Amino acid sequence: MKLLNTGLNGLFDLLFWPVSGLPPIWALTVVSLLAGVLMLWIFGLVSNQEAIRTIRDRIRGNLIGVRLFGDDLGVLFKLQWRLIRDNVVFLKYALIPLVVMIVPVLLIIIQLNLRFSARPLEPGQAALVKVTVHDRGVIDRGVTLEAPDGVVVETEGVRVVERREVAWRIRPQNAGSFDLVIRSGGEEIAKELRVGGEGWGATSTLRTSKSFFDKLLYPGEPPISSGAIESVEIAYPPLDLSLFGWSVNWLVFFFILSLVSGFAFRRVLGVEI
């Protein structure tokens, strides 16, 4: 998983590089539009375009027939049945391409989440650091947090034994990238802390040792090796994304723009959807 995430992060860093100087909302706009074209191209590549085109033509013809023969109930019922049948056939032809597209869409969303869901702390801004352990007994044996110079740990660890959690409040004083160190027994885990900096970029909120899917969802740092600590999380503030004064959710914005882009370029690429 470490090699997979490292490779994907490097690939997407390269892909995002041309838009790295743009404000986050415009960078997300460009990425979303390009993603829509990419998804359209993949759909056209793996789908049976000739069969889909034939089904689409039949559906259009039957819809015209419904308008022309709407007063003839016998003909109308036949046309309605044909429309239902053709739509089921269309879904059959579209299902496999949609399944294939799940993989690249998921990878894109994961990388967008890493870059557009959160922003680094500002100097002087407080945040919570939460450690989750595998076993409640680990909390009784002690879990500690050590911070480097420039980062103040303002509270003792607050233990929530039922949830297997220990949390601290920290307050960085200077901009930069720091390593917080969590210790439990002989185990030592580092968690990256990002403070300050302009623009947007990869901000890792969680380092985890959970399932394969969890490790895939949070690729910003190497997975935690098996041990007492399950995950380390920093509660970064959300990245502010606004368009013409309207606050937008990055995921909703991505899906809307990518769908619009796909439909807009379907004739240019000659893809029937």
Give the model confidence (pLDDT) of 26-55 as tens digits.
999 999 999 999 999 999 998 888 888 888
pLDDT digits (tens, 9 = 90+) for 205-253: 999 988 888 888 999 999 998 788 999 999 999 999 988 888 999 999 9
Q: From CA 263, how far away is CA 184, in angstroms rounded? A: 53
pLDDT digits (tens, 9 = 90+) for 51-110: 888 888 888 887 787 777 766 667 778 878 888 888 888 888 888 888 888 999 999 999
Q: State which residues form the domain around 8.
A: 2-117+252-264
Tally of structural domains, the chain: 2
Supply the pLDDT for residue 198.
Answer: 65
Assess whether pLDDT exceeds 70 at residue 164: yes
144 in a structural domain: yes
Supply the pLDDT for residue 72.
Answer: 66
Q: Which residues have CB under 8 Å from 16's CB, separation 6+? A: 27, 31, 111, 115
**7/35 same-domain check:** yes
271 in a structural domain: no
**107/187 same-domain check:** no
Q: What are the distances in angstroms from CA 259 to CA 32, 87, 252?
A: 9, 20, 11
Measured over the CA atoms of residue 109, residue 111, residue 114 and residue 119, the dihedral's sign is negative
**88/144 same-domain check:** no
184 in a structural domain: yes
**14/104 same-domain check:** yes
Supply the pLDDT for residue 92.
Answer: 86
CATH number at residue 137: 2.60.40
240 in a structural domain: no
Supply the pLDDT for residue 64.
Answer: 80
Q: From CA 73, how far away is CA 132, in angstroms rounded? A: 66
246 in a structural domain: no
**8/95 same-domain check:** yes
15 in a structural domain: yes
Measured over the CA atoms of residue 180, residue 12, residue 217 and residue 213, the dihedral's sign is negative
**31/70 same-domain check:** yes
**198/100 same-domain check:** no
Supply the pLDDT for residue 70.
Answer: 65
pLDDT digits (tens, 9 = 90+) for 108-155: 999 999 999 999 999 999 999 999 998 888 898 899 999 999 999 999
244 in a structural domain: no
**137/74 same-domain check:** no
Supply the pLDDT for residue 194.
Answer: 95
Tokens of 130: 């939460």
**225/256 same-domain check:** no
